[in-house]
Amino acid sequence: MTGRAGTRIPLTICVGLLGIAVAYPLGILFLQSVFPEILGGSFEGFMDAYRRIGETPEMVRLIRNSLAWAGATTGVAWIFGIPCGYLLARTDLPGKLWARLSLLVPIMTPPYIAALSYILLMQSGGFGDTLTGGLPEGLRAWFFSFWGVTLVMALSSFGYVALAVEATLSEIPRRFEDAARLLGASWHQTLRRILLPLLLPAILNSGLLVFLEALSNFGVPAVLGSRSNLPLLPAEIFYLVTSWPVDLALATSLSSLLCLFALVSLYGSRWLADAFGGGAYRPGAMSVQRLGPLWTLAGWGFIGGLFVLSSGLPYAAMILTSLAGSWGEGWPELTMAHYATLFEPGSRGFEAILTSLWLSVAAASVCVVAGSYIAYVNIRSTGWLQSALEGLATLPRVIPKIVIAVALILAWNAPWVPIDLYNTAFMLLLAYVVVYITDTLNYSNATLWGMSEHLESAAEILGAGRFTVFTRIVLPRLRPALLAAWLTTFMVCMRELVASLMLMPPGMDTTATYIFSQFEQGDISLAMAMATVTIVISTVVLALFTLRRSHGARAGARALGEVEG
C-alpha cells in the first residue's frame, strides 16, 4: 500500500498526542517501578520493589491468586458461553432473539453492581434468606470464597464468549461437517475434530477478553474479594496507591507485572490459535440441528438458568433494595424515598449524576473526534512514524485500566509538570479518554479497512483538499461506526469505577464512586437506587440511538435505491 503524500504533519501530531497521553505516563510508571526514587531525582534502589515482591510470600500468593482466579473465570465463562453460542448458531431453538437479548443484559451490567447485588442476595440476613427462609450456610460459605467470586465474574462476562462462538459457528460451512460425516465420523467426532479446532480462534479470543477483564477488574475483587478473603492484584494496587502508607514503588512494580501478564496472555492466545486452530475459509451455508422437545427444554433451561443467575437475581436484589424502606425481619416496606433523595437538586447524589453525565458526554465526544482522526491517519500512512502510532494506539487495548490510572497519577503529579491538572475533573476526563479511545479506534478501523482509497482519490482529483476529503468523504462513511463508538464510550464511562475512584478530586463524585462509597458506608439502599439510575440512563441512551440508527439505515437504503434505480 502506498502512503498518501503530505501526511507527515498530521501523523506527527497524532503520535505526539498519543505519546503525551499514553506513552509518557506508562514510561514514568515503568521507570518508577525500576528506580523507586526517580521522582526525587535519584537512581537508587534499582529493582528493589521487584525484589521485595519476590521475597514476600503474600505477594507471590497474591499474584498466583490473581492468575488462578482470572483463569478460573475464563474456564467457567467458556463452560457457560460455548453451549449458548452453539444453541444460538446451530440449532432450531425457538425464541433466539430473546436468548440473544438475555446474553446482552449481563454484558451491559457493570460487574461491580452485579457483585454488590450478589452480596445483598447472599449475605446473612439478605434477600436469599428472606426468600428461602434461611440459605444453607454451606452455600453461603461457598459463595464467599474463590469459586463464588469466580462465578459472579464469569456470569458477567460469558456473554462475550457466547456471541463470539455464535458468530464463528454461523460462518463455518456445513460442507466441512458433511465431508467428515461421510467419511464415517460420528457426531461427537465431527464436533471434536472439525468444529472445535475451527472454533478455537473464537474461543481463545473471547477467552482472552474474559481473562484480561478478570485479571484487571477492580470492582468485583474490591467488593467481593475482601469479603471472601481473596486478595487480588488490582485491589492491592489500589490500596497501595490510595491508603496510607502509600507505597508507589510496590504499586508500580505490581502494575508492571500486571501489564506483563496481559501481554503474555495476548501473545500466548494468538500463538495457540495459530498453532492449533483456524485456517482461512470462505463462509458458507451451515447446517442446523433439529432439537427435539426435550433438548429444546434443556437448551432453554440452560440459557434461562444463566439469565436468572446473571441478571434476574442481581437485578431483583438491586431494585428491591433501592425501594426498601426499612431493614428488619421479612419483607421490607417499599418506598421511593431513596430516589427522591438522589434527585434532590444540590444533593450529593444529584451532583454525582450530573458530573458523570457531563464527563461521559465529553469523554465520548473527545474519543470519537480524536480516535477517528487518529485511525484515519494511521491507516493512510506508512513508515516508522506510522508503526509508532500503531503501537501507541494498541497500548490502551491491553494495558489494564488501573495501571493507566496509576500511571496518570504519577505523570501529572510529577514535580516538573507546570499545570495543575491533577485534582481537577479534567484529570478524570483525560483518564476516560485514554482508557476508552480504543473503542473508537476499533470501530473506525473496521470501517476504514473495508474502504477503498479510490473514494478519496476521486475527490482529490476533483480538487478537494485533505481536510475536505476527511470531512466530506471519510467522516460520512464512518458515521455509523462513530455513532456506535460514541454510545459504547458513553456507557462505559458512565459506569467507570476504578479510574474515577483514583483520580476524582476530593469532594466530587461520579455515579460509580457514589455507589461504591455509599455501599461501603452502609447506605445500601441509596447505592442501589443510584445503580438502578445508572443502568436506566445507559439503557435509555442505547434505546434512543438504536431507534435513530434503524431510522437512518432505512433512509440510507432509500438513497441507495434511488442511485441504482
Closest approach of other proteins to the CB of residue 202, in Å = 13
Q: Which amino acid is at 66?
A: S
Q: Is 185 in the site for other proteins (CB under 8 A)?
A: yes
Query: 76: Cβ–Cβ under 8 A, 6 or more apart, which residues?
Result: 150, 151, 154, 158
Interface segment toward other proteins; rule CB under 8 A; list 74-82, 156-164, 179-187, 205-213? 179-187
Instruction: Identify the residue among 181, 397, 466, 477 touching other proteins (CB under 8 A).
Output: 181
Q: Which is nearer to other proteins, 184 or 415 (CB)?
A: 184
Number of amino acids touching other proteins (CB under 8 A): 26
C-alpha cell at 436: 476508552
Q: Is 398 in the site for other proteins (CB under 8 A)?
A: no
Crossing angle for the helix pair 425-449 and 348-379, nearest 10 degrees? Answer: 40
Closest approach of other proteins to the CB of residue 296, in Å = 21
Closest approach of other proteins to the CB of residue 193, in Å = 7
Q: Is 178 in the site for other proteins (CB under 8 A)?
A: yes
Q: Is 286 in the site for other proteins (CB under 8 A)?
A: no
Judging by beta carbons within 10 Å of its beta carbon (0-12, 13-18, 19+), is residue 549 exposed, middle or buried? middle
Q: Is 281 in the site for other proteins (CB under 8 A)?
A: yes
Instruction: Identify the residue among 64, 175, 192, 472 touching other proteins (CB under 8 A).
Output: 175
Q: Is 169 in the site for other proteins (CB under 8 A)?
A: no
Interface segment toward other proteins; rule CB under 8 A; list 173-181, 237-245, 403-411, 512-520? 173-181
Q: Is 97 in the site for other proteins (CB under 8 A)?
A: no
Residue 91, SS3 per DSSP: strand
Do you know the residue count of the chain? 565
Which one-letter DSSP state was computed for residue 289?
Answer: B
C-alpha cell at 129: 434468606
Q: Is 68 in the site for other proteins (CB under 8 A)?
A: no
Q: Which residue has the cell 453460542?
A: 85
Instruction: Identify the residue among 1, 5, 97, 280 touching other proteins (CB under 8 A).
Output: 280
| Cα–Cα distance for residue pair 118/188, rounded to 1 Å | 37
Q: Is 171 in the site for other proteins (CB under 8 A)?
A: no
Q: Is 270 in the site for other proteins (CB under 8 A)?
A: no
- Any bridge partners for residue 91, and if so which? 289
Closest approach of other proteins to the CB of residue 164, in Å = 17
| Cα–Cα distance for residue pair 412/20, rounded to 1 Å | 11
Q: Which residue has the cell 469459586?
A: 147
Q: Which is nearer to other proteins, 181 or 479 (CB)?
A: 181
Residue in 249, 248, 236, 233 with CA at minimum distance from that of residue 48: 249
Which one-letter DSSP state was computed for residue 494?
Answer: H
Q: Is 285 in the site for other proteins (CB under 8 A)?
A: no
Instruction: Identify the residue among 27, 45, 75, 197 touching other proteins (CB under 8 A).
Output: 197
- Any bridge partners for residue 398, and if so which? none
Q: Which residue has the cell 465520548?
A: 364
**What is the phi-psi region of residue 435: left when phi exceeds 0, alpha when psi lies from -120 to 50, beta otherwise?**
alpha
Site residues, other proteins (CB under 8 A): 173, 175-176, 178-186, 189, 193-194, 197-198, 200, 276-282, 284
